[in-house]
Amino acid sequence: MKRRTDHPYPAGPALAGAALALLALSAPALANDGFGGLSATGLQFGQTDKVAMLSEDLQIGPERISVEYVFENQSDADVSGEVIFPLPPISLAGVWEGMFNLPEDPWPENLVGFTALVDGQKVAVAIDRIAVLEPQWEEEPSPASFYESPGEDVTARLTELGIPLSTDPVAVKAALMALSARDRATLSAEGLAEFFDSGLAGESEVWPAWSILIRYHWSQTFPAGRRMTIRHDYANHPPGGIFVWHEAGDEYQDLLAARYCINPAQSKAISQALASPEGDEYGAVGSAVYTSYVLRTANSWAGPIGHFRLTVDKGDAGNLLASCIDGLKQIGPGKYLFEAEDYSPDRDIEMVTISPAQ
């Protein structure tokens, strides 16, 4: 069950962010045309044909991510709903391996320091957590929309066993190791964890197979016929690790190349950039971080994004950036730009930033 530290899905999707979305109510909100909110089973996504996203300005940097939206209620009545911003799943296995540069000691509830401003005024956000099974690295990401199918929800099962919905490895491991032999066997049979001998006398280890999905949300009213600006800002904590590249390629590398649209010319450039003067029979070696941004949630608003602007900062100018974003243009040392009008994203953002060994 243990995963390679250099595969293209190293710890579940990277901890970057997701486009804002609205959620479906189990009933209308007050007297307005309610289309987003909370149900008895938690957050539920829906669709609105009244509130349009006129623009989205997304900036992804090595340390921080910010995004600003302009919305317009194009109807003649107020529209109220629950607004949600989900982070991509955080793999417990990845946290176990130290692949995330996450804040710790203590592990904060607001893991990325997420803040939201509505027309310049800070709003209080609630934090919802669920646990989902993570895909094996051999699997391609599901074509289903992230917000429709982030993975099999195993929240109830973990809660039943007293396992916290936390990214704190110490707390989670303590809860897993405290399980009875029967519960351990059941958890293993269900594919939720693997218990094994650590190799040290009398000691055992555990490997979790789920990810934690954090969703920030708050109730929002969009006044009839008016525009509203919503802005987020938060720390970027993408996973990463050792990155190995073979110019000849292999099955694993083919998966990575497909995920990040690395063509033969880029493959050669990566090999050259990472090549050691002493040579390396195992391939060119460096490090990489993997950034994901769930963009398709934008399709839950009325119509396409009027104007979409993405700015990417890859950090050091010597780093290499690979992505499937068609039309991403370099605008300066380490800086890239993509813009589109009437944009309906059909895939999420996936990027890998590769750094030569120091």
Higher pLDDT, 286 or 141: 286
Distance CA 244, CA 260 (A): 15
Q: What is the pLDDT of residue 348?
A: 83
Q: Provide the token pair at 52.
A: 């349009």
3-state SS, 281-339, equals CCCEEEEEEEEEEECHHHHHCCCCEEEEEEEEECCCCCCEEEECCCCCEEEECCEEEEE
Q: What is the pLDDT of residue 90?
A: 84
Higher pLDDT, 309 or 39: 309
Every domain of the chain and the residues it spans: 17-356
Proportion of the chain above pLDDT 70, given as a percent: 76
CB 60 within 8 A of CB 325: no
Higher pLDDT, 324 or 39: 324
* Pairing mode of beta strands 284-294, 17-18: parallel
Averaged pLDDT, 205-217? 89
Q: What is the pLDDT of residue 275?
A: 84
Does the CA dihedral 253-254-258-259 come out positive or negative? negative
Position 148 pLDDT exceeds 70: no
Nearest to 304 by CA among 23, 84, 49, 33: 49
Position 269 pLDDT exceeds 60: yes
Distance CA 341, CA 324 (A): 18
Tell me which range, 7-21, 96-110, 158-172, 250-264, is most confidently predicted by mean pLDDT.
158-172
CA dist list (Å): 120 to 68, 117, 216: 11, 5, 18
Fold (CATH) for 17-356: Immunoglobulin-like (2.60.40)
Distance CA 103, CA 96 (A): 14
Q: What residues form DSSP beta bridges with 335?
A: 313, 332
In tens, the pLDDT along 280-318 reads 666 688 999 888 888 887 888 899 999 999 999 999 989
Q: What is the pLDDT of residue 83?
A: 86
Q: Where are the beta strands (DSSP E) in 156-259?
A: 193-197, 204-208, 210-222, 227-235, 240-245
Q: What is the pLDDT of residue 198?
A: 66
Q: Please state the separation of Cα 203 from the chain's center in Å.
A: 34
DSSP 8-state code for residue 148:
T
Q: What number of H helices and E strands is found in the chain?
A: 6, 22
Location of structure tokens 């110490």: 170
What is the pTM assigned to this prediction?
Answer: 0.81
N-term to C-term CA, the chain: 31
Per-residue confidence band for 82, with pLDDT thresholds at 50, 70 and 90: confident
Distance CA 356, CA 338 (A): 25
User: By mean pLDDT, which of 5-9, 45-49, 97-101, 283-287 is the weakest?
Assistant: 5-9
Position 43 pLDDT exceeds 70: no
Averaged pLDDT, 246-267? 85
Nearest to 215 by CA among 18, 26, 79, 70: 18
Q: What is the pLDDT of residue 106?
A: 61
